[in-house]
Structure 1
Amino acid sequence: MVLISAVRDYVNRMLQDISGMKVLILDSQTVSIVSVVYSQSELLQKEVFLVELVDSISKSKEPMSHLKAVYFLRPTSENIQHMRRQLASPRFGEYHLFFSNLLKDTQLHILADSDEHEVVQQVQEFYADFVANDPYHFSLNIPSNYMYMLPAVVDPSNLQHFCDRVVDGIAAIFLALKRRPVVRYQRTSDIAKRIAQETSKLMYQQESGLFDFRRTEVSPLLLVIDRRDDPVTPLLNQWTYQAMVHELIGIQDNKVDLRNIGKTSKDQQEVVLSSEQDAFFKANMYENFGDIGMNIKRMVDEFQQVAKSNQSIQTIEDMAKFVDNYPEYRKMHGNVSKHVSLVTEMSKTVEERKLMLVSQTEQELACNGGQGAAFEAVTNLLNNESVSDIDRLRLVMLYALRYEKESPVQLMQLFNKLASQSPKYKPGLVQFMLKQAGVDKRTGDLYGNRDLLNIALNMARGLKGVENVYTQHQPLLFQTMESITKGRLRDVDYPYVGNHFQQGRPQEVVIFIVGGTTYEESRSVALQNAINSGIRFILGGSVVLNSKRFLKDLEDAQRTARSSTNLV
């Protein structure tokens, strides 16, 4: 609950102390921040009768002096200019201004100078500058996410903008949690180092007074790592419910767009998948796909029983009882319909793209050795006409990541085959990915080859088998959390920023992945927190990835790098 509660508390404080009819005005990012923690009906209960975007308010001239305007915006220069123009000719009776992060003094002065009509009642900073997807998982929804792959010389101003947004988001997390952490970063990543240093500078120098919270016995830890240290996880097909929905259909701000899927009713064209609002999803979000089918059948059976009992309405009392229970009945009907639609669509995609066949080879590439067998399996799948272009590309990438040093000749054969069979995806993209995230660039022991303990664990797992061949893979993040829990995170690989070191094992850890998180990783964090090791982990990233988004980021970075004349 920790992140969702923090943002909900801020939204509550914005709305409940202002009586009367209100309009809530958001920007393109705060609309995501609010929508994942607050439903439309909850906003209505707070007397919010209108929700508008700040740029569309600028275009309208209609006076609404009977409404009180509650603004919740990111403190960007663009939003300050919107406010300046809107305060010059106010449309609302009162203005209550809330910003999701630190306001600069110059911005405050602009707001004060613009309020000639004295309609502004308050200006406050509420540190909810992140999207709380799940209780322990947040995202910053950064559109130009590919920037993290580019050297500073390619596009310095956009890269700085990217870094500033990440630092703002991390700062807001710790201000919301009322903590100041010690900061560590992945040594092999320039971008992780830069963000860690800028975050530490903000917390310990520029805004040290603001972050001077009551000390805990052991300081919390912020660990900044790079997506490229584990490029395997976002390339894999997923077989647990939440991760699979994102991989095969897509989740944006806890909503799933079903408009292009079969025949869906009007009220099911966009559905909410939130562990806070949907008990079935909360209970099943980390379950395997096979178990989901059984659990949905059980839910359908329960609903049919309820529907049957509602059909036997014979008396006025029966009718009154049904009317009382109707909202619950309608909600249950919507929930059953939603989950049946999702699972039906995913089953269809799995069959069409032969994903069970593809995924078995993916898992072998990610988890087990055997280069000869892997080459044969990938070659066979490249020759299979039922396998889609995107799946062929991912298979070659997974093979390349695993065997780039061992089998350059076979790798070139796969590049050529991919080029001839999937012309849409150029083999140059695989080589660009190796340049970005190949073995020479990575810090962690991605395949468990270097650490004797990992080798032993992998052998043991191979001997006794795993319960589900499709969910063998564990993200590198799992090992990182284990190292932190056991006090084994090596200083040489993950140095501290400045002179702020940790004395003992931290009780709170925020791991931020520059370049994006996956729902497989957020599942690992939730399961780790559930075993109650005495450490609470929170995971954050610049976006939430699926394989499609990860590949798009690679393509965007490759295109930008090629077109740049500054590339060295």
Structure 2
Amino acid sequence: MKPAGRGQPPSGAAAGAGAPNAPAAAAASPYPTLSGSVINLSKMREEARRALIELLDSVKGKKVLVLDPKLSGPLGQVVEMALLKEHGVEKIYYVQSGRFSTDSRTIVYLIRPRVELAKRIAENIENHKNEGQSKEYHVFFVPRSTTICVTLLEEHGVDNVVTMGEYPLDLIPYDDDVLSLELDSSYRECFLEGDRSSLYYVARSIMKMQASFGIIPKITWKGNASRLVAEMLGRMRKEFEHELPNTSPDIDQLLIIDREVDLITPLLTQLTYEGLIDEIFGISNSFVEIDPNIIGAVAAKKDGPPVDPNRKHKVPLNSGDRVFSTLRDLNFNNVGPLLNKKAREIDEYYKQRHNNLTPPQLRDYMKKFAATQQEHLSSTTHTAVALHIQKVVRDPAFLSRLEAEVNLIGESNSIDDYIEECINKQEPLVKVLRLLCLTSLVNNGLKVKMHEFYRREIIQSYGFEHILTLDNLEQLGLLKRQEGKNTFPSVRKNLNVYSEDVNESEPKDINFAYSGYAPLSIRVIQNSFKPGWEVRDDLLGPQDRMTQTLNGSTDKLPNSTRNNVTLVYFVGGVTFAEISLLRWLSRQEGNLYGDFVVATTKLINGNSFLQSIMENMTPPPPPVQPKPSGKKK
């Protein structure tokens, strides 16, 4: 097993060109400062960091840290490598099966409670035992242990040499208004496998927020899973009673919404700048990796070896980057003009150095110098990224897909010919499945003949190993046979889901992020602020509202001059475009909605959402043909 390398918390910053005739600008922190949050989210990050340090300090001496690969990114948002070294961590590795070689006598495993990871740990320990190595093992489950993992270690006979514990890492702040549990399989586990562990984690994370920010007076839930979370909150209230502060709450209401309430939105193509970055490149733990040929040539380090030109650039995407913060929530068509405007402003600033500046003017110039250099770096990077995105969105293949989505959502027109064309061209399977699931959801299923036709075509074109994926999609209701009445036309009309009248430059409605489509999830949130909500959205699933009291009253303390704060918790995942639309709502004149903070089990797009449901099966190798012996019969 080799050191993790990329498994270590990320430390890269945005790439770009520096100011002319000036030293390179100091890189801005790749992590959000959280200074712009309407509630003190930095407190949550500090608590997670402190808990991890206490865990490491409980293991005396030098140690190596062996990580679940999927924990690397989330931990990078909580703690830096330098701090881990201060607390005895010499190296970081990923959990792998087979032989694990390390000179360290103390090994600390930090894993999600997954059976395959527990098996790998057992293998590591058994191999050390067979080789006569004596080591000290500590296994910490995140956020809690499970009976099946503990039992597995016991069955392998290694529990007697392992010290087990838990690291209760819950919601991680990814930005000023975004928190995530980063549970990759939460939708699959909850809605397909019937494992409600993620719902428990959701409820517990809400109770922890109430312990930090006060009891939330009003809770609204939408969907069956959200109802279960609300019920868990009622039971947990008794357990956490002694931890809940007797103060005015910082959060005025909580809205819990199931991904099942709106499965259409994540399958559509996002058209905001951040949404398109996620669709095209993939955003992971608030970073995006960009090929160097997109960003541009990379200069050699001044005092070190040359930078690898083949290594991808890791670009941070958060509100600490003022340029990105301005662009992220816009329809992509508005990004170019703003980048051009920013370039002109930066150019005008640099030209000031040729003027005969007085000492006070020079002092003011130098105060802004570092920040302007960083903006220059950022605008150079995002100009390159935007130019690449522009090539993609102007490609006929992208436009054809977008047209198919609009035809389906806008008028429920058939897109069978387009889907069949994608299959014949061997387009990526996940693209085909996104379109098929959209068709099924909009039409309340596929006609029996078409359902069988598509199953046959996919199996023949992509391999029989995808039968289980198709079965999973059918079980979840994403790709099913047509039955019963189609309710989508009523939903489209009653909730004003689609309109051809889209103002991308100065939006008047939330339909600017999806080419005329107004996400059902955001419509539900809008309607929850209006009277009569309880009966308006009944087609989208069950819903209810409850109140929580503090000392027998839900009244806030007087002299509260801030905007109301709503915590919106998406169970099963949320897209970046949906988050952008909530930000847009909070900026509208009159501000009916106040401020939003978004929490979720996972930040997703259509591909990652479906990939969590797909069975990752490798077809068996072809049988080995016997070689001729060379002997004559």
Q: Is the 8 A contact 1:128 1:176 kept in 2?
A: no
Q: Is the 8 A contact 1:11 1:34 kept in 2?
A: no
Per-residue Cα deviation, 1:503-556 (whole angstroms, up to 9, x for no partner): 899954323222111112111211222231154433221110012211111114
**What letter corresponds to residue 522 of structure 1 in structure 2?**
I
Does residue 1:147 correspond to 2:189, yes or no? yes
How do 1:47-446 and structure 2 match up within 5 A? 56=92, 129-145=170-186, 146-152=188-194, 159=195, 161-187=197-223, 189=224, 191-202=225-236, 204-214=237-247, 220-259=252-291, 262=294, 265=298, 266=307, 269-304=312-347, 327-328=370-371, 330-350=373-393, 354-366=397-409, 368-372=410-414, 374-380=415-421, 382=423, 385=425, 388-405=428-445, 407-423=447-463, 426=466, 429-430=469-470, 432-438=472-478
Per-residue Cα deviation, 1:67-88 (whole angstroms, up to 9, x for no partner): xxxxxx9999x9xxxxxxxxxx
Q: Which residue, out of 542, 546, 555, partners 2:614?
A: 555
Q: Which residue, out of 546, 552, 568, partners 1:511?
A: 568
Which consecutive unaligned segments of at least 5 residues does structure 1 have? 16-21, 63-72, 79-99, 103-125, 153-158, 560-568
How far the C-alpha of 1:171 sits from its partner, in A, is: 2.2
TM-score, normalization: structure 2? 0.60
Seen in structure 2, the aligned counterparts of structure 1 residues 228 and 308 have a Cα distance that, compared at 3 Å, is: same
Seen in structure 2, the aligned counterparts of structure 1 residues 528 and 332 have a Cα distance that, compared at 3 Å, is: closer
* Distance across 2 between alignment mates of 1:230 and 1:470: 14
**What letter corresponds to residue 495 of structure 1 in structure 2?**
D
Does residue 1:490 correspond to 2:534, yes or no? yes
Out of 227-236 and 421-430, give the one that drifted further.
421-430
SS across alignment from 2:227 = helix
* Distance across 2 between alignment mates of 1:61 and 1:294: 55
Seen in structure 2, the aligned counterparts of structure 1 residues 61 and 394 have a Cα distance that, compared at 3 Å, is: closer
Q: Is the 8 A contact 1:137 1:538 kept in 2?
A: yes
SS across alignment from 1:449 = helix
**What letter corresponds to residue 394 of structure 1 in structure 2?**
R
**What letter corresponds to residue 435 of structure 2 in structure 1?**
L
* Distance across 1 between alignment mates of 2:399 and 2:502: 18
* Distance across 1 between alignment mates of 2:615 and 2:381: 34
**What letter corresponds to residue 136 of structure 1 in structure 2?**
D
Per-residue Cα deviation, 1:336-376 (whole angstroms, up to 9, x for no partner): 2321232233234445682122112113323x12434x334
Seen in structure 2, the aligned counterparts of structure 1 residues 229 and 408 have a Cα distance that, compared at 3 Å, is: farther
Q: Is the 8 A contact 1:404 1:411 kept in 2?
A: no
Tell me what 2:524 maps to: 480
More helix by share: 1
Question: What's the RMSD between the two structures over aligned residues?
Answer: 5.4
Tell me what 1:109 maps to: none
Seen in structure 2, the aligned counterparts of structure 1 residues 530 and 466 have a Cα distance that, compared at 3 Å, is: closer
Q: Is the 8 A contact 1:182 1:222 kept in 2?
A: yes
Seen in structure 2, the aligned counterparts of structure 1 residues 271 and 331 have a Cα distance that, compared at 3 Å, is: farther
How far the C-alpha of 1:235 sits from its partner, in A, is: 1.3
Tell me what 1:538 maps to: 597
Per-residue Cα deviation, 1:316-345 (whole angstroms, up to 9, x for no partner): xx9999998764454234212321232233
Per-residue Cα deviation, 1:190-244 (whole angstroms, up to 9, x for no partner): x433333223211x21111222533569x94433332122222111221111111
* Distance across 1 between alignment mates of 2:442 and 2:497: 15
* Distance across 1 between alignment mates of 2:219 and 2:262: 21
* Distance across 1 between alignment mates of 2:269 and 2:231: 35
* Distance across 1 between alignment mates of 2:553 and 2:534: 13
Per-residue Cα deviation, 1:61-120 (whole angstroms, up to 9, x for no partner): 79xxxxxxxxxx9999x9xxxxxxxxxxxxxxxxxxxxx999xxxxxxxxxxxxxxxxxx
Identity %: 14
Tell me what 1:2 maps to: 37
**What letter corresponds to residue 192 of structure 2 in structure 1?**
L
Seen in structure 2, the aligned counterparts of structure 1 residues 395 and 37 have a Cα distance that, compared at 3 Å, is: same
* Distance across 1 between alignment mates of 2:477 and 2:192: 12
How far the C-alpha of 1:415 sits from its partner, in A, is: 4.1
Seen in structure 2, the aligned counterparts of structure 1 residues 466 and 526 have a Cα distance that, compared at 3 Å, is: closer
Seen in structure 2, the aligned counterparts of structure 1 residues 139 and 371 have a Cα distance that, compared at 3 Å, is: same
Q: Is the 8 A contact 1:147 1:557 kept in 2?
A: no
Seen in structure 2, the aligned counterparts of structure 1 residues 520 and 470 have a Cα distance that, compared at 3 Å, is: closer
Per-residue Cα deviation, 1:463-491 (whole angstroms, up to 9, x for no partner): x5665695212222212112210033328
SS across alignment from 1:256 = strand
**What letter corresponds to residue 149 of structure 1 in structure 2?**
F
* Distance across 2 between alignment mates of 1:31 and 1:134: 18
Tell me what 2:578 maps to: 521
* Distance across 1 between alignment mates of 2:40 and 2:90: 25
Q: Is the 8 A contact 1:359 1:470 kept in 2?
A: no
SS across alignment from 1:346 = helix
* Distance across 1 between alignment mates of 2:459 and 2:553: 50
How far the C-alpha of 1:246 sits from its partner, in A, is: 1.3
Seen in structure 2, the aligned counterparts of structure 1 residues 416 and 486 have a Cα distance that, compared at 3 Å, is: same
Q: Would you say how many aligned residue pairs link Structure 1 and Structure 2?
A: 479
Out of 281-290 and 348-357, give the one that drifted further.
348-357
TM-score, normalization: structure 1? 0.66
Seen in structure 2, the aligned counterparts of structure 1 residues 150 and 9 have a Cα distance that, compared at 3 Å, is: closer
Q: Is the 8 A contact 2:419 2:436 kept in 1?
A: yes
Q: Is the 8 A contact 1:243 1:519 kept in 2?
A: yes
SS across alignment from 2:599 = strand
Tell me what 1:121 maps to: none
Seen in structure 2, the aligned counterparts of structure 1 residues 470 and 418 have a Cα distance that, compared at 3 Å, is: farther
Out of 339-348 and 519-528, give the one that drifted further.
339-348
Q: Is the 8 A contact 1:222 1:511 kept in 2?
A: yes
Seen in structure 2, the aligned counterparts of structure 1 residues 426 and 477 have a Cα distance that, compared at 3 Å, is: same
* Distance across 2 between alignment mates of 1:206 and 1:143: 28
**What letter corresponds to residue 11 of structure 1 in structure 2?**
E
**What letter corresponds to residue 194 of structure 1 in structure 2?**
L
* Distance across 2 between alignment mates of 1:451 and 1:329: 46
